[in-house]
A = this chain, B = another copy of it.
Amino acid sequence: MGIKAFAPASIGNLGIGFDILGMAIERPGDEVVARKSDTPGVRIVKITGHGGKLPYETEQNTAGMAALRLLEFLGETGRGIELEIHKKMPLGSGLGSSAASAAAAVLAVSELLRTGLSKRELLPFAHAGEQVATGSLQADNVAPSLLGGIVLIRDNATLDVHRLHAPRGLYATVVHPHFEVLTRDARAILKPEVPLADYVRQSANVAGFVVGCYTGDVALIGRSLRDIIIEPQRAGLIPGFYEVQSAAMAEGVLGCSISGSGPSVFALSANSLIAENAGLVMQKAFARHGIESDVFVSPVNQEGAVIC
């Protein structure tokens, strides 16, 4: 009798697009089951998988808050809703875990209540849910997780988001090393200022990346995927990062950088063969530092969150 939704992991920032670009991948992802209940309010009744640390209190849980925000919008806060959250990816991985739970929750509840709202219309509630529960203001994970695709967030406050045209054949490799980086720590180390010359170069690269997406110029995407601002400041949080990156580049990937605030490292490739090979060498490079990791290879996930 419940409705189950799946929302995928996402690569925040995409290296050059700090806080403004994100891309959905096919897996991993989180599942949320929503069910009607006679007890008013949103209650989280089950959390499985990587969710050991997650709170059952609705107001502190990203999925719970997202569902609550949607009910408020619908004027249905008297409704009884039970949520099960099945975490298929770890927290603090740089894969947008809390965003995926929020995205899956709004979609499941919307379907359960037959709201008829589009995923674009549901985005504010998923975003607000994630924001309240985690303090994150950026929609560069929740927007691609819910909507799918490669997404530009022009403005977080107004959720002025745009799915870019994604070239055929573009593949992502994501390697998740088994340790945690807290987003707030990764943010705290960033210098508050950027050299003007670096700003110019990086804004040119962001623009080049967007042009490459629309024109299908994967070589241009490759030349543009060079983060000279954030990556150098965060690389030190990830032991062996530069070796992992070099290994990927040697396989012919278009670019390789940090997913979200890390520690996951991503690469984009022009085809699945390069993406697969890159995953193997990236995993080996982490292993040389005594770090185990998981590898995910995926085309651009154009669907985003789905009912399953």
Which residues of A line the B interface, CB within 8 A?
Answer: 17-21, 152-155, 160, 162, 164-165, 190-196, 199-211, 214-215, 220, 223-224, 229
Contact = CB atoms under 8 A, between A and B. Distances in A.
A204 B152 contact: yes
B192 A196 contact: yes
Given A155-B204, A194-B194, 14 more contacts: A17-B207, A18-B200, A20-B203, A152-B211, A154-B207, A154-B224, A155-B201, A164-B211, A193-B194, A199-B199, A199-B229, A207-B209, A210-B211, A210-B214
Nearest to A138: B200
Given A17-B207, A202-B203, A220-B162, A194 B192 contact: no
Which of A193, A196, A203 has the most chain B CB within a 10 Å cutoff? A203
Contacts of A17: 203, 207
Copies of this polypeptide in the complex: 2
27 contacts: A18-B200, A19-B204, A20-B200, A20-B203, A20-B204, A152-B204, A152-B211, A154-B205, A154-B207, A154-B211, A154-B223, A154-B224, A155-B201, A160-B208, A160-B220, A162-B211, A162-B215, A162-B220, A164-B211, A190-B196, A191-B196, A194-B194, A194-B196, A199-B202, A203-B203, A210-B211, A210-B214
A98 to B, nearest CB: 20
B196 A193 contact: yes
A218 to B, nearest CB: 14
Contacts of A191: 196
A17 B203 CA distance: 8
Contacts of A164: 211
A192 B214 CA distance: 33
Nearest to A165: B214
A154 B220 contact: yes
